[in-house]
Amino acid sequence: MSILTVASVTKTFADVRAVDDLSFAVEPGEIYGFLGGNGAGKTTTLRMVLDIIRPTSGAITVLGGSPDRDNAAGIGFLPEERGLYGNMSAIDTIVYFGRLKGMEAGAARSAGLELLDRFGLADRAKSNISDMSKGMAQKVQLAASLVNRPRLLLLDEPFSGLDPVNQGLLEEEILRASRDGAAVVFSTHVMQHAERLCDRLLLLRKGQKRFEGTLDEARDLLPSRIDAVAKDTIEKVPGLAKAKRGKALGDGWHEYTLTVPPEGDAGAVLEHCTANSVPLRQFAEQRASLHEVFVQLVGDEGVER
Ligand SMILES: Nc1ncnc2c1ncn2[C@@H]1O[C@H](COP(=O)(O)OP(=O)(O)OP(=O)(O)O)[C@@H](O)[C@H]1O
């Protein structure tokens, strides 16, 4: 059974269609990337899953039921707008969130201390949030979203504001939650995290789904490039959309940039060259990056590599 199902959901605010007939489902253990430029509808979708706002039409199923307080115990959420009570300590904050999710105080406290330890904040458990750096406070908030070992973990732009070391730590936590069987949905503008982590991706533009699938499927949407060193016989090899000759290297050898169309296969091009003794000194396939796919499908507004 899917942990989260969004079926033909639309949300309009006055004349803005923030989410437009969106459907997708997320399975246990899956890491699902929510990608889209500014205003694409990512936060609005997450808020509907959390029952903070209601869809204008369509249906959402969370942990087998409709989104409401009853399934709060199974959900962890890291909002985009981070906010904690400054005069509460780190551990009290985490216990507070655990209690909101229906945990016993003692269980929340020991889970919270374990998380703080894992996040390198064991000695700051009693520090007030207001005395912590922004990154530290963000880790406390992450701990608060994980304290109840959620079956559905929703993270809205979780990497923003974290330094590279803590971004690595967050990646580990996402992988750990998925290994434990949780479905993890996170939104991001940063393609590298999505490339490294996601089992599947959803690309949104103006509230509409532009693509859903694996990273490989996303890359297959664009032509791939082959950097080769070959003689001019390469130009006649079948399966190439283009063969652009570059620098001459002597004795008839040239650098080439070869383009294989999206439906093509660089492996088949190489096999043809080998079977037909087409002279080749170098053959390196460069597949389209997720960044290139993203720019092609949704434009380059608000996207980072
Ligand atoms: N409460 C609201 N009232 C009116 N319009 C809203 C409201 N919430 C969101 N919108 C509009 O809905 C659209 C989608 O916004 P949303 O915050 O979901 O995008 P997003 O993909 O999360 O963007 P970002 O990456 O910038 O956070 C935007 O045009 C936004 O202005």
Phi-psi region of 65 (alpha: psi -120 to 50; beta: other; left: phi over 0): beta
Q: Above pLDDT 90, what percent of the chain?
A: 58
Does residue 305 register a pLDDT over 60?
no
Pairwise CA distance, residues 55 & 14, whole Å: 13
User: Counting atoms of ligand 1 from 1, which one is nearest the CA of 53?
Assistant: 1
The single-letter DSSP state of residue 204 is E
List of residues 6+ apart from 57 with CB closer than 8 A: 8, 9, 10
Terminal Cα distance for the chain, rounded: 34
Distances (CA, A) of 3 to 100, 152, 169: 21, 7, 25
User: Counting atoms of ligand 1 from 1, which one is nearest the CA of 44?
Assistant: 18
Report phi then psi at 238, rounded to 5.
Answer: -70, 155
The residue-averaged pLDDT of 37-45 equals 90
Distances (CA, A) of 270 to 118, 140, 216: 48, 52, 20
The residue-averaged pLDDT of 21-48 equals 93
pLDDT of residue 302: 53
Residue nearest to atom 25 of ligand 1 (CA): 38
The residue-averaged pLDDT of 239-265 equals 90
Residue nearest to atom 3 of ligand 1 (CA): 13
Pairing of strands 183-188, 152-156: parallel
Say how many Å lie between the CA of residue 13 and the centre of ligand 1. Answer: 9
Pairwise CA distance, residues 42 & 191, whole Å: 15
**Residues 106-138: pLDDT tens digits?**
999 999 999 999 999 999 888 888 888 888 888
Q: What does pLDDT average to over the chain?
A: 90
Say how many Å lie between the CA of residue 61 and the centre of ligand 1. Answer: 22
Laid out side by side, the sheet with 224-230 consists of 242-250, 253-260, 224-230, 280-286
Distances (CA, A) of 86 to 92, 130, 135, 140, 146: 11, 4, 14, 12, 20
Residue closest to 208 by CA, chosen among 4, 74, 11, 73: 11
Does residue 98 register a pLDDT over 80?
yes
Does residue 303 register a pLDDT over 70?
no
pLDDT of residue 66: 87
pLDDT of residue 299: 72
Residue nearest to atom 19 of ligand 1 (CA): 39
Residue closest to 291 by CA, chosen among 145, 204, 190: 190
Does residue 265 register a pLDDT over 60?
yes
Residue nearest to atom 8 of ligand 1 (CA): 44
User: Counting atoms of ligand 1 from 1, which one is nearest the CA of 14?
Assistant: 4
pLDDT of residue 292: 85
Say how many Å lie between the CA of residue 47 and the centre of ligand 1. Answer: 10
Say how many Å lie between the CA of residue 88 and the centre of ligand 1. Answer: 30
The residue-averaged pLDDT of 191-209 equals 91
List of residues 6+ apart from 272 with CB closer than 8 A: 237, 238, 239, 278
Q: H-helix or E-strand containing 196?
A: helix 191-197
Q: Pocket around ligand 1: residues whose beta carbon is below 6 Å from it?
A: 13, 16, 18, 36, 38-44, 80
Confidence of residue 4 (pLDDT cuts 50, 70, 90): very high
More confident residue, 297 or 201: 201
The residue-averaged pLDDT of 165-171 equals 91
Confidence of residue 300 (pLDDT cuts 50, 70, 90): low
pLDDT of residue 207: 92
The single-letter DSSP state of residue 244 is E
Reported as half-sphere exposure (CB side, CA atoms, 13 A), residue 287 has a value of 16
pTM of the predicted protein model: 0.85
Say how many Å lie between the CA of residue 39 and the centre of ligand 1. Answer: 5
pLDDT of residue 209: 94
Residue nearest to atom 26 of ligand 1 (CA): 38
Tally of CB atoms within 10 A around 85: 12
